[in-house]
Amino acid sequence: MSSTDTGNGIATGPAATPGRRAFPAAPASEVIASARRAWLTYLGGMALAFLPFVVFVNDAHWLNIIALTYLMGGLAASWNIIGGFGGQFSLGHGVFFAIGAYTTAIFVTRWGVSPWATMIPTAIFAACVAMLISWPTFRLRGPFFAIATLAFNEVAFVLANHAESLTGGPRGLSIPFRAGLANMIFRDRWAYALLMFGFVALVIALSVWLRRSRLGYYLLAVREDEDAARAAGINVLAVKLKGMALSAGLTAIGGTLFTMYLRYIDPPTLFTLPEVGVKFALLALIGGIGTIWGPLLGAALIVPFENWLRSAYADSLPGFSLAVLGLLMVLAALFMKRGIMGLVEDLLKRTRRKP
Amino acid sequence: MDIFLTVLVFGLLLGGIYGLVSIGLNLIFGVVRIVNFAQGELVMFGMYGGFFAWHWWGLNPYLSVFLVAPLVGLLGVAIQRLVIQPLQHEPNMQIFATFGLLMLFQNLMLMASRGEAYSVGGQVGSTVLEVGDLKLSLVRVVTLLAATLITIGLHLFLSRTMTGKAIRAVTQDKRAARAMGINVEKTFLITFGIGAALAGMAGVLLTPIYSITPAVGGNFILAAFAVVVLGGLGSVWGAYLGGLIVGIVEAFAGFYIDPVLRSAVWFVIFLIVLVVKPSGLLGQVGAEEVGFREQH
């Protein structure tokens, strides 16, 4: 594979479009890997991700952070499906997250339905909503799409505040503590961490599958050059919609888990951009947008770091943790567009070239 | 009928505020197509500048605006040079970088002020004009006037001066502009500086109306994007019109539907316009593509 190949099967010359390629190419090894190798890498990576759980299994403080890291990693990886593979920068994933959270909370509190039962129908519902609102907005390109999704997030925020009979409005909804596997409420923190690990393992497995599937290649083609993809006979809108549906459905599952973990939700928790919609994208950016492991890697670095910043400076310097995250975001956009995965890949390339 | 008129006038004055905060973004996003999510924070800096000028030196905001706006403009030049210019061709990374700036500025201010809200005291903010039966807040009338004057000024600047023409040329085709001897980088710096200064100006002029908090920029940023897109990208008068529309819609929705839903209503209108006619009300067809096409 020559160095001018982008690794996506779409060869472009070295002089071509530094501008348009806002997205890093996936590491070359992923593309040539056989199915067996891809799944072995998956197992190895997940085993590595499981390690902190094993080490801290008796430490409630760390288990909380680990559970949150797995959850955010899974959510960032869900965003990555349409944002990274598909190149559609949604900042409105808070909407799907909130659909998962509210639907589950409403069914649990009103009718005592088990969250396990609501999880999949909720995800399908969120996927349908996602397709419905994306169908018109997918006409928009680049920043216009991002702004439109941001507006959806705001509309949903206002509606959630307004629909008091359904969402509890600004007071929010809280779920009574009734421990039990069927209720998805646990006394022990390790059970939550395990649950979140299951979520991120599912999302990354789907990413591995997607990356090797026809739909995955179509998404990459759309990301790289929408017009060329269309000219090559790809139904661009259908591909984007499928990617969005998958991404939104998984995000809604994350919302369900989040609700059962926190047992209290209100509009600011679900729609605040730096904490939800933009956070998913930020974690993916830090780790490496459009890569399989980037989102989890980003979460593994940022979630504990932010947690530490918060506990260390929340009283003395309010806002310090978000200021640091903001600065990191600027620096990553400027100097680390391909995230940590990109850095690693560059290092590997450099060492390989040396005899 | 009386109530209708009152709501209409209230909406017009509110539209003046939206128009005013959108003028800077209209130049930065509407004309040169740089995605700047930190625009609301530039307005916020203008507000703090106006407040401290009043607090320390007793300067009236309508005087200190001539000091604060250029300072915010300088900050804008620095942002353009350090952050935007390296990301000139990457709108998606501009989204990340400027959203990062938004978080950074907002929380730096939170750290500095410790969340305390400020407001400029004095008589100005509460003066009321009586026209017939209508009671008009003086500062809001001034805001609408300022928005109108600045829009006229910007229109003249873009259409009559060489710098203004250079700005429009750079947007349409960087390469051709460069071939005509226009310094593209300098033009972008100037544009972003002016856009930031206009945001700062808006901030100072709004100090008598709003209480000043670090998060105040959040009230404006989506509104500003909505106004710019609604009015028509690249159209100075479109943004003015967009501001008035948003203000009037918000006033009527707030009064006749539900105050909680007032912003949702114009968001939905904004989304519809974005999808049905992305070039906006007064924008040329295809205006949304200009500046995002492949250019080097």
User: What number is the ipTM of this complex?
Assistant: 0.87
C-alpha dihedral sign at B87, A328, A78, A137: negative
Provide the Cα torsion A7, A9, A14, A18; round to 10°.
Answer: -80
Burial of residue A353 (number of CB atoms within 10 Å: 0-12, 13-18, 19+): exposed
CA distance A249 to A126: 6
B99 touches chain A (CB under 8 A): yes
Average confidence score pLDDT of chain B: 86
Interatomic CA distance for residues A275 and A75, integer angstroms: 12
Question: For residue range A66-110, what is the model confidence (pLDDT) as tens digits?
Answer: 999 999 999 999 999 999 999 999 999 999 999 999 999 999 999
Over residues A153-162, mean pLDDT: 91
State how far the Cα of B77 lies from the Cα of B199, in Å rounded to an integer: 13
The long-range contacts involving A51-54, CB below 8 angstroms and separated by at least 24 positions, are A53/A190, A53/A193, A53/A194, A53/A197
Residues, chain B: 296
Q: pLDDT band for position A177 (50/70/90)?
A: confident
Give the separation between CA B104 and CA B111, rounded to whole angstroms: 10
Q: What is the phi/psi pair of residue B33, to 5°?
A: 60, 40
Q: Are A285 and A329 in contact (CB under 8 A)?
A: yes
Burial class (CB in 10 A: 0-12, 13-18, 19+), B129: exposed
Inter-chain residue contact A158 with B99, CB threshold 8 Å: no
Query: Which residues make beta-bridge pairs with B134?
Result: B131
Residues B278, A139: C-beta atoms closer than 8 Å: yes
Nearest to A151 among B100, B258, B267 (CB): B267
Binary contact (A140, B264; C-beta < 8 A): no
Are the Cβ atoms of B274 and A151 closer than 8 angstroms? yes
Residue-wise pLDDT for B5-28, tens only, equals 888 888 888 888 898 889 889 888
Any chain B CB within 8 A of the CB of A318? yes
Residue B6 Cα, gap to closest chain A Cα (Å): 25
Mean pLDDT of chain A: 87
Closest chain A residue to the Cα of B257, Cα to Cα: A162
Q: Do B96 and A281 touch (CB under 8 A)?
A: yes
Residue B219 with chain A: CB contacts under 8 Å:
none
- pLDDT at residue A217, as a whole number: 94
Class of domain B2-114+124-276: mainly alpha
Domain spans in chain B, listed from the N-terminal domain onward: 2-114+124-276
Closest CA to A49 of A195, A251, A197, A196: A197
Predicted confidence (pLDDT) per residue in A11-59, tens digit: 333 333 444 444 555 554 445 568 888 899 999 999 999 999 888 888 8
Q: Residue B102 has which token pair?
A: 């938004």
pTM of the model: 0.88
Q: What is the DSSP string of A82-121?
A: IIIIS----S-HHHHHHHHHHHHHHHHHHH---HHHHHHH
Give the mean model confidence (pLDDT) for residues B31-44.
89
Residue type at position A65: I
Chain B touched by A312 (CB under 8 Å): no
Segment among A105-119, A187-201, B223-237 with least mean pLDDT: B223-237
